Structure 1
C-alpha cells in the first residue's frame, strides 16, 4: 500500500476512516526484531515541548546514555532554545569516562519529518488529535524514511480519542514505517517534573520484545507502566481515568467550599478527607483551596497545572468514545457545563480553579 493512500484520512482529519491494526502485519522479509536492551550512541526524538512534554524530555535526556543524541521539535523556537541551553549547561561531568567539558547532545529539528529520519525512538506529546495527525502527515507525506539499525518505535503520549489513535497507527503500520504505540500518562505537571508519571499503553501482545522496549522507554519518564492490551487501549484507559478525575475535581471543590462555609478549617477538613473514603488525587495532591497543599496550582493563582481547556478536551473525547460504544455517561453533561462556565470566568488556569468559580457563585447567591 502506498503512503499517499493511507495519508488521505490524516489530511482530512477523518475519524470515520480509522481502521483496526490488529490484522496488519509487515512481511517477514521487512520485519526486524526488537531489542529490549537500550543501545548506546542511539538517537531519540521528542516532538511537543508543552508543560508535560518539556519535563518528560528533560527526564529522558537525563536517563538515556550520555553518548546518545536527543532530537527535539516544537513550533515555539524560544522553547527549543531554552531546552538546549538548560541541557547543555548541565553537562555530563558526573558521567564516568566523559571527556572534560563534554556536553549532553541535543539537536533541534526543523520539523517532525527530520526528527523521524534521524531517530529510532520518537515520542510525541501534543494537545489535540488534529495536532497528532498533522505531525504524522508531515512524517509520512514525503515517502519512506531512511532505514536505521533498529526498527522505529513511535510512542504517542498525547490524550486523544481511540479512533484517531488507530487511524494514525494504521498509517504507520501499513506503510511499514515502524511501530506505533499509544501511551498517555497520568500524574500532571508535578509528576512530569518529578519523573513519577504513570503510563498506560496499547501495543500488540504478540510481541513481547515490543512491550518490553516500550516499558523501558516509559520508565525513564515515569514510575509506573501498565500494558492495557492492543493498540488503542492506552488512550481508552486514559479517557476512563480522566472522566473520573473530572468528576472528582468538581466534587472536591464543592465539598471544600461547603465545609469552609460551614466554618471548618480547610487544612483539617482536607486531612480528614484524605484519610477517609473521600480521598482522591484532587483532594490530596491538587487540592483546589489555596494554602492547603503547598505545591498545588491553587497556591500560585492556579497557574502551571492541567488547564481547564485540556480537561474540557478530555471530557469531550470521553463522551465521543462513549457514544461510539453506546455507553451512557450521566454526569458528563453536568461536568461539561461546569467546566465551560469555569473557563469562561478563569481562562488559562489549572482545572482546580473550578473552586474559585464555585466560591464566586456562592458569594453571588448570598
Structure 2
C-alpha cells in the first residue's frame, strides 16, 4: 500500500506561514499534481511528504505508517528534483545505481537494476557516458531512472521538467504518464504549468498562498472551479465586472461594464440579490463570433430562458489580430472595455483590425463570482 494521507499539514518559517492546514488523501497508484504559482506552498508540501522538511504541525501517513518524524532515508519514497543533482564524477550507470549501493545491494544486482531502468527511459546506450556531456532531457531521464531504480512505493517529482524546452517537455510528459501507468505506483508531481498538470494528472490539487484550495480531476477543476482564482489560473478568460440589475424566476440579469446586460439562467432564486456586485467569466471557447449586421437588441436581457440558457450578444470593433500558429486571438473593443476571442486558424473567419463583429454566447456557459471571489451557485 502506498496511499498517502496528509492531515492538517502546516509549515512555518518564523512568522511566515508557508503551508496552512493541508489535508488530502492520495490514493494508492494515483498520480496527483500539485499545481500553483510560485510561492503557493506546493514544493514545501512535497518536501514534507519526502521527509526533507519537517512539518510544524500535522501528520504524514504513507500506507499504514505514520512517517511524520521519519527522515527521508527511512521512507519508501524517492524524489526527482528540478536540477537533476547528478554526480559529475560518476558514469550514468553509476549515478543510477547509487541509491542501490547505499542500500547495500550487491554490485551485480544493482548494475542489472540500473541498466533495466536506463532501458526503461531509453538511456541504456549512454550507461558509460559522463553525465556532464548529456543534454538537459537526457540528464532528466537519468535522474528519473535513478529514482525508479530503488523501487520506491511513492515517486515524488519537484518540477522535474521545468528546465526543458517546450517540445522535449511535452514528450517527457507523455513518457512520465506511460511510466506511471506501467508501474502503477503513487506519484506526486509538483508543477506551475497547467498544461503539464492536465496532461499527467489523475487528479489536480490547486494551491495558492499555502492553502490547498481544490482537488479534483482535470475536467472537474476546469469546468467547476471553486473560486475566481482557480477560474483565472486555469486557462484564459474574460472577467467582466457588473452589478445585479434584477432577478426573475429563472434568471439573473447583470448590468455590466460592456454597456450590455448579461442574462444568466438560475434555479436558485436566492443566489444573488439586486444591487450585488458580481464578476462574470466569459471563456473564449464559449464565445461565437460573426460579422455585425444589426444592432444588438436591447430588450434581449428580458427574454425568457430557453433551451438551457438565454443567448447573450455584444457588438465590438476588432482592435488587434494575433496569430498564434494554430489559433488566432481577436482583441475586441466593447464600449470602452476589451474582450478577447480565440479561434483555430481554419475557423477564424476573415476579420481584420477595425472590423465590427458580433459576439454571442449561451448564458448557461458562463460562471459568476461574488466580490470575495467565491463562486455563485446559480
More helix per residue: 1 or 2? 1
TM-score relative to the length of structure 2: 0.27
CA radius of gyration, larger in: 2
TM-score relative to the length of structure 1: 0.28
